Structure 1
Amino acid sequence: MAKFPTFPTLYDDCKTLSISDLKRWNYLNPNQYKSGVIKWSSNGNETSSISVVVNTKNENPFLELNYKYGDESRCYKVILVTTLSNLGKGKVWYFLCPITKKRCHKLYLVGGYFLHRNAFNGCMYDSQIKSKKDRNMDKIFGAYFRIDKLYEQLYKKHFKKTYAGKPTKRYLKLIKQIQKAERLTLNDVKKLFNP
């Protein structure tokens, strides 16, 4: 008898809050109380928004979330914690998940709450549900379809190509992926769609 499909919730499709976004939007500056609205959009249309308050003045910094999920209003705090950078330059910010108590850089909205990914059962990443055939195709042709993003990363502001006179691992990995993508010809890609 065939197995019934489960159609898991995909982390890739979930709305997220990340420390890097909060830093970029200047919410994590020291000794500040800042409020604002974070919006998500799809194809240029706003799909949802959330009111946030970040308090780093407090001894126990926090992020307060206020939004509607369906017809229900949600308002709760997520503790923010810091550790000293292993490079000795400042602090590294983390969310402290209200359920798992784990530190994380990203919170996912599943079931109405922004939590650490381990707080949810049955959720997966898109790459985990791909068939073996799809994974093999991605290995062979994936870089070809992602070449624009690879170049974008390579020429991103503040991207370090070298460290102490040697090429960085990240730089070498990007170069390898770009070279692999450029080796593919248009005929190789056409064969993919017309076997």
Structure 2
Amino acid sequence: MGGMGSGARRAMNIGNVEDMLALDIRALRRLGVIQPGECIIDTLHWSIGGLSASSVRLRVDLSNIERGGTMTVSGNMPDGTISQNIAIDRVPSSLGGWRYYFLCPVTGRRCEVLYYTGGRFASRDAQRLSYAVQNMTDLSRARRKVAKLRRRLQGSGNIARPRGANRIDIVQRLRDAEFEAKTLYLDRLRNLAERSGSRRMPSERR
């Protein structure tokens, strides 16, 4: 019998994308690693909680992108060394210029992010990864929404606390989210009480 918080969907996945080291081609382009017509060699570092987690050497060759680009990833990963070649493709952008994509080494499909697990980088689908929110219950998602809105009200880092009409809007959304979370929690309690045969039903009174 499941307790409070049980009932989350069980997908055939091996983890969440939020927990994996990733290569994002959009971020690499902003960093200047993706340069059309050039071959760039650079080092990429990952950190978790401000501490170094891993680093790899990237060799991105787009010197002849018409024939296809390649990226070579080599270095030490948490579970061992890696030496992997990844193809790069480009397609015309509706805003002009080009958009660049990795070609997943497993599926061959275009993707902008590759995730590391099992000794290789590949797309989310190929690695059988899901987003954390996909495995949450309705109650977990409601509580997550409440926490997110509270953080927005408090401000954090370079994000200033909202003011004026924006703050009023967020406060109202927070109240609605808190009411939704409380309602779901009470519904869960009632369902558990019914399944257990309890005569005392939870109410909204504290």
| TM exceeding 0.5 | yes
Question: Whole-Å Cα distance in 2 between the matches of residues 51 and 57 of structure 1?
Answer: 18
User: How far 1:146 sits from its partner (Å)?
Assistant: 3.8
- Partner in structure 2 of residue 145 of structure 1: 151
From the superposition, tell whether residues 52 and 179 of structure 1 become closer, same or farther in structure 2 (CA, over 3 Å).
farther
Give the root-mean-square deviation of aligned CA atoms: 3.3
Alignment equivalent of 2:103, drawn from 82, 92, 96: 96
User: Residue in 1 aligned with 2:202?
Assistant: none
Match of 1:86 among 79, 94, 105: 94
Equivalent residues in 2 for 1:45-64 (5 A)? Answer: 45-58=51-64, 59-64=67-72
Q: Closer, same or farther in 2 for the Cα pair 1:79/1:8, shift >3 Å?
A: closer
Contact 1:51 1:65 in 2 (8 A): yes
- In 2, Cα distance between the equivalents of 1:138 and 1:120? 25
Assess, with a 3 A threshold, how the Cα gap between structure 1 residues 120 and 57 changes in structure 2: closer, same or farther: same
| Residue 137 (structure 1) shift | 2.5
Deviation at 1:45, TM superposition (A): 1.5
Q: Closer, same or farther in 2 for the Cα pair 1:54/1:47, shift >3 Å?
A: same
Paired position in structure 1 for 2:82: 74
Deviation at 1:44, TM superposition (A): 2.0
What secondary structure does 2:42 align onto?
strand
Secondary structure at the counterpart of residue 102 of structure 2: strand
The size of the alignment, in residue pairs, is 164
- Mapped contact 1:143–1:180 kept (Cα < 8 A): no
TM-score (norm 1): 0.70
Contact 1:141 1:181 (C-alpha < 8 Å) held by counterparts: no
Amino acid at match of 2:89: V
- Which of structures 1 and 2 has the larger relative contact order (alpha carbons within 8 angstroms, sep 6+)? 2
Q: Once structures 1 and 2 are overlaid, which stretch shifts more, 68-77 or 96-105?
A: 68-77
Structure 1 residues 112-121 or 100-109, which shifts more?
112-121
Check whether the contact 1:143–1:177 (CA below 8 A) recurs between aligned residues.
no
Q: CA deviation at 1:74?
A: 1.9
Task: Quote the sequence identity (%).
Answer: 24
Please list the CA deviations of residues 23-42 of structure 1 after superposition, one character each: whole Å capped at 9, or x if unmatched. Answer: 11111122111111100112
Structure with greater Cα Rg: 2
User: SS in structure 2 opposite 1:138?
Assistant: helix
Query: How does 1:1-195 map onto structure 2 within 5 Å?
Result: 8-58=14-64, 59-69=67-77, 72-87=80-95, 89-121=96-128, 123-140=129-146, 142-147=148-153, 148=155, 152=159, 180-183=169-172, 184=174
Q: C-alpha distance in 2, partners of 1:71/1:14?
A: 13
